Amino acid sequence: MEKVNIELSKNEALVLFEFLARFNESDHPNLFEDQAEQRIMWNLEAILETKLIEPFYENYLEIIQQARAQVRDSKE
């Protein structure tokens, strides 16, 4: 199988992981055209889970808030 690599900053990975974790906990019956799309969302979350240690830190809420602040667009 041919692979495609995507590079993310640590902050981007944290924000994406947090989003995917919330998204994957909810039911979205009409969102996906094919179950393969849902499978990719689960797989991405699982991959990020193996790469990130911050979600296991006691101060994870603070860490994710800081990551979001770094990633979001400035208000200029």
Domain map of the chain by residue range? Answer: 10-71
pLDDT at 33: 94
Distance CA 25, CA 74 (A): 30
> Tell me, what's the pLDDT at 76?
66
Helices 10-25, 35-51: axis angle to 10 degrees equals: 130
Q: Within a 10 A sphere around the Cβ of 61, how many other Cβ atoms?
A: 9
pLDDT tens over the chain, length 76 residues: 999 999 999 999 999 999 999 999 998 888 999 999 999 999 999 999 999 999 999 999 999 999 999 999 988 6
- What local confidence, expressed as pLDDT, does residue 17 receive? 98
What pLDDT is recorded for position 49?
96
**CA–CA distance, 67 with 38 (Å, rounded to integer):** 25
Q: What per-residue confidence (pLDDT) applies to 31?
A: 92
Token pair belonging to 20: 């995917």
